[in-house]
Amino acid sequence: MTPEQLKQIFGTVPNGTPDATAGLGPNCDWQADAGVSVGYVTQDHQGLSAVYRNSKPQTSVWRELPLIQGFPAVGYIDKAGAASGDICTVSVGVADDLSFDVALTLSQAKKNARADPCEPATRVADMVVTNLRQKAGS
C-alpha cells in the first residue's frame, strides 16, 4: 500500500508491520482505529479455488463480488467474526495458482454505525490490484 492509499483508508499513514513468514505467504498489517492486512497466498498454488474449498464452509457471509479489474473475487465474514460483523476478508484470484487476501477491520465509529466491512475491503483490494499492475508495468 502506498502512503497516499493508507491516508485514504485511515486518514493518517500508520506504519506497516510486514511478516514474510506468515501463513501461506508474505503479508503486511496496518493498524490505526481501523485495521487492514494484505496477504499474498504464494505457498499453496491453488489460487481462489482454495478459498472456495477451505474458507467458504467457515463463513457466515459469502459474496461472489464483481470482477476487480478483471480478476475474480469473493468477500466473506467468517463464523468467528460474525458476532461482531466488523471484519471482512476479500480474496482475489490474480492467476489460477495465485491469490491475495485483504482483511479489513472497521473503525469503532463504523462499527457503531453498523457499516458493511466488505465494501471498504473491496476498495482496498482494488488498490492492491492497481499496485500489482503498476509493478508489473501493465
Q: What are phi and psi of 73, to 5 degrees?
A: -150, 150
Quick check: is 17 in a domain?
Answer: no
Do residues 127 and 61 make contact, with C-beta atoms less than 8 angstroms apart? Answer: no
- The set of cell numbers assigned to 117 is 466491512
Interacting residues of 120 by C-beta distance below 8 A, sequence separation 6+: 9, 104, 106
Exposed / middle / buried, residue 12 (Cβ in 10 Å: 0-12, 13-18, 19+): exposed
Dist CA 62 CA 22 (whole Å): 24
Q: How confident is the model at residue 129 (pLDDT cuts 50, 70, 90)?
A: very high
Domain count, the chain: 1
51-106, pLDDT tens digit by residue? Answer: 999 889 888 889 999 999 999 999 999 877 666 668 999 999 999 999 999 999 99
7-29, pLDDT tens digit by residue? Answer: 999 989 999 998 877 678 899 99
Quick check: is 35 in a domain?
Answer: yes
- Give the structural domain span for 117: 3-8+26-133
Q: How far is CA 112 from CA 50, 76, 85, 87, in A?
A: 33, 20, 11, 13
Quick check: is 101 in a domain?
Answer: yes
Instruction: Say what the pTM is.
Output: 0.91
- The set of cell numbers assigned to 30 is 496496518
CATH number, residue 122: 3.40.1000
Q: Averaged over 35-42, what is the pLDDT?
A: 93
